[in-house]
Amino acid sequence: MFFIGCSDLELEPEGSVFTEKQKEELTKVAPERLQAEVNGLYSGLIKYASISDWYGSTRHYDFGYAAAGLMFDASGQDMPSENSGYNWFRNSMRYTDRTAPSEITYFLWNLFYSHMKTANDILFTIPSDTSDPLLKAYRGQALASRAFDYLHLVQIYQFTYKGHENAPAVPIVTEETTPEQAANNPRATVQQVYDLIMKDLDEAINLLEGFSRTGKEMINQNVAYGLRARANLNMEKWNEAAADAEKAMVGFSPYTIQQVSKPSFNDINATSWIWGSDVSETNDIVQSGILNFPSMICSLTGNGYSPGYAGRYINQALWKSIPTSDVRKGWWTEPVWGKDEDGEDVIVDYKTPLVDMTWTTTYNNVEYGIIDWFGWNAPYLNVKFGPYQDQYNNPTNACDLPLMRVEEMILIRAEALAMGGNTSTGKQVLENFIKTYRDPSYICPVNDAKGIQDEVWKQRRIELWGEGFSLFDVKRLKKPILRKGINYPAPFSYDLPAEAPILLWLLPEDEINTNEAIDEATNNPVIAVPSV
């Protein structure tokens, strides 16, 4: 467990705790140190080798929040991938990481609680009643960051809010938690965690009023509204979710059809990105070569596991449901059919209108086409995420990472309006978005609230594919996992019922060993790995 201590800011006073006067003096004499802590909120999301000391070596999924998103998506039904030892997200796909000693659950726990510790350090230092505009902005960013962490933790280690309000979630650690309290800190209920999330976001939104950020890697009021929209959606507070999503959208516009008619989603400067990680060429995850998001998901990178060793594909049934008039159908390759020597139908090639299929490169005097060079192994392979600087075969994986896009907020608003009783407006919001920005021929096929909710879910599965939302959506909507009869590797081609216990990660063994209030009996249950 990560608790707050005054020494964390390397400015410990003579006493064992800060007085209010000492806190006030600290904020005056050490603004640079506070700025460094705030910067740490964002660098912590793209941290390289965070668990290397714990594990004893560097795991190739250890590159921050984007890896967590891939773990979530691998655990669902929309991102099939190879059953290969080179697939660093295979354990999440086959659910073998749902144990207390699992390195994956330790990685997830460490990712969010370490990030939260940075937020708590800042909150410990800045008085809640500060009137200084800069300190208010720092405090607002820290509160929203902590809410971001808990919003993930509560969904990783428990089922959705509705119907599970009193279920055990995760321990709550704030800037006021002492080491003694952290050592005996039981799992708070889902309701208690959401109460803190909402309290933090309410204050953050107030503190960030008028704050003008210098880069979209920073949290501003739009981002805080977007995070609260997500929380309200989970709690089925429909009117509040719709209102927050609308406020989060102000100043942003979706990718146009033309902009997503090529591999994209790699540049924080896109008008649709409300919040993202700004990744530089000198960042450790880039300098590592292949321990980064593009290495694992981009099918056009010149340096990575994807696609030759572990491609990321879409659920073929979902892909087939996308109309040909929808530009997003080209975000994944389609099979080209021919006949084998016996006259049987076989896949002979792959294609997509988004990629220049005439591209070639020469190596050792041999010319290679795009499929052979990059190792495209099967149809339905994603080309949604473009390579760095949109340059095919670029070995530098310095692509930025989307954390919140305006398209997500539009879809939240459409669902929330419909479920909140305003079905016609919700349907219109959905139709306007899809027709204007994705498929000019689109007509929402349903009129009732539940039907619109399911249609929005389908659009989320397509639009937000690969961005870490799919598992949480399945849990929120209490949907089954359906993998049979589609393009999953045979050992993982099984279905799971809604709220299958295997979907929950277990709290890590290290937490059990250091927190007296948590043991095997109070952890999530150990469930046998599913089989065909």
Residue 428 has φ and ψ, to the nearest 5°, of: -65, -40
Name the nearest CA neighbour of 482 among 323, 310, 321.
321
Domains (ranges, CATH) in the chain?
Answer: 6-46+99-205+500-514 (1.25.40.390), 212-278+400-468 (1.25.40.390), 289-386 (no CATH)
In order along its 532 residues, the chain shows pLDDT tens digits of 655 443 344 333 333 344 555 556 655 645 677 999 999 999 999 999 999 999 999 999 999 999 999 999 999 999 999 999 999 999 999 999 999 999 999 999 999 999 999 999 999 999 999 999 999 999 999 999 999 999 999 999 999 999 999 999 999 999 999 999 999 999 999 999 999 999 999 999 999 999 999 999 999 999 999 999 999 999 999 999 999 999 999 999 999 999 999 999 999 999 999 999 999 999 999 999 999 999 999 999 999 999 999 999 999 999 999 999 999 999 999 999 999 989 999 999 999 999 999 999 999 999 999 999 999 999 999 999 999 999 999 999 999 999 999 999 999 999 999 999 999 999 999 999 999 999 999 999 999 999 999 999 999 999 999 999 999 999 999 999 999 999 999 999 999 999 999 999 999 999 999 999 999 999 999 999 999 9
Name the nearest CA neighbour of 261 among 170, 345, 354.
354
- C-alpha distance from residue 162 to each of 191, 228, 412 (Å): 9, 16, 17
10 Å Cβ neighbour count for 303?
A: 18
**Exposed, middle or buried by CB within 10 Å (0-12, 13-18, 19+), for 484?**
exposed
Distance, CA of 119 to CA of 142 (rounded, Å): 5
* C-alpha of 255 from chain center: 19
Distance, CA of 449 to CA of 383 (rounded, Å): 33
User: Which residue bears the tokens 């608003």?
Assistant: 413
| Token pair belonging to 220 | 């501003």
| Token pair belonging to 490 | 């045979």
Residue 257 near residue 272, CB atoms below 8 Å = no
10 Å Cβ neighbour count for 139?
A: 25
